[in-house]
Amino acid sequence: MIKVRDLHKSFNNHAVLNGVNLELLDGEVLSIIGKSGTGKSVLIKSILGLIEPDSGSVEVDGMEVVGMSEDQFNAKVRNNISIVFQEGALWDSMNVGENIELALQIKKHLDPEEREEIVIDSLRKVGLENIRYVYPEELSGGMMKRVAIARAIATRPKYLFYDEPTTGLDPVLSNVINNLIKKLNAELGITTLIISHDIKGVETVSDRVAMLYEGKVVHTCNAKEMWQQENKIFNDFIRGRMGINEY
């Protein structure tokens, strides 16, 4: 379980996170929604130790990670959490298999056969076992995203974060990715945190939804009940009614 308590982060005197409270429960899929620029990426980067919060607490499996040294973080937490960045971030000069192997560098005890087995198995899990020797430039956007997911699961993380996994994909490909996220959660038991604007996708994939607004989580609910909520900010947002001048 990951517990975020009263997390604050400002940039140039602008409070981006202003007391965020959030729990990610073991086994669930939690989606964080909110307008562009509200600090969703800052929030997950703070959990991942990529951004140092100003104050507050992030506990991963009972361990406080705010203030932890990089060495300690790498030794105790890093292995358990993977992220699929929005850009996918594959290296053009390496083929798909080599890109996935990069993620295994932290697993130094593996021999070459074990590495190869994990690469193939990770590709199989995203339905792409035949593209091990293909280069990123030959891949479609949806395939690139699936390779990025294969790379993220190669280390067998307990937690997997996705930063806007369907942004820029058409509705059909978005569906493919959403189904894959759900499948990996169900079959591998990966606890999943998604940042998304894709409300339809959020509804089908998530167990719970949390909305970030003005630096705080203003509302959390079960995804199945998201259309029956009374919170006005949440309702306006999921129905696309949030006018630029209104808030």
Residues forming the site for ligand ADP (CB under 6 A): 11, 16, 34, 36-42
Give the DSSP H or E segment for 182: helix 171-188
62, interface contact from ligand ADP, Mg ion, none, CB < 5-8 Å by kind? none
Tokens of 44: 């997950």
Nearer to Mg ion, 34 or 49 (CB): 34
145, interface contact from Mg ion, ligand ADP, none, CB < 5-8 Å by kind? none
- Contact between 41 and Mg ion by CB under 5 A: the answer reads yes
Closest separation in Å from C-beta 61 to ligand ADP:
25
Closest separation in Å from C-beta 68 to ligand ADP:
20
Closest separation in Å from C-beta 186 to ligand ADP:
27
**Burial label, 95 (beta-carbon count in 10 A; 0-12, 13-18, 19+):** middle
Nearer to ligand ADP, 136 or 215 (CB): 215
Nearer to Mg ion, 16 or 153 (CB): 16
> Do 226 and 31 form a contact (C-beta atoms < 8 A)?
no
**Number of helical H runs and strand E runs in the chain:** 8, 10
Which distant-in-sequence residues (6+ apart) come within 8 Å of 222 by Cβ? 207, 208, 209
| Site stretch for Mg ion (CB under 5 A), options 36-44, 45-53, 123-131, 168-176 | 36-44
Nearer to ligand ADP, 18 or 72 (CB): 18
Nearer to ligand ADP, 38 or 155 (CB): 38
Give the whole-angstrom CA distance, residue 47 versus residue 53.
9
- Contact between 46 and Mg ion by CB under 5 A: the answer reads no
Beta strand pairing status for 159-163 and 81-84?
parallel
Give the whole-angstrom CA distance, residue 145 versus residue 165.
8
Closest separation in Å from C-beta 86 to ligand ADP:
9
Q: Which of 12, 17, 77 is nearest to 42 (CA)?
A: 17
Closest separation in Å from C-beta 11 to ligand ADP:
4
- Contact between 155 and Mg ion by CB under 5 A: the answer reads no
| Site stretch for Mg ion (CB under 5 A), options 37-45, 124-132, 143-151, 169-177 | 37-45
**CA angle at 155 for the pair 161 and 28, rounded to the nearest 5°:** 35
Beta strand pairing status for 63-64 and 81-84?
unpaired
Measured in whole angstroms, the distance separating CA 178 from the mean position of its chain's CA atoms is 12
228, interface contact from ligand ADP, Mg ion, none, CB < 5-8 Å by kind? none
Closest separation in Å from C-beta 63 to ligand ADP:
24
Binding site for Mg ion (CB under 5 A): 41
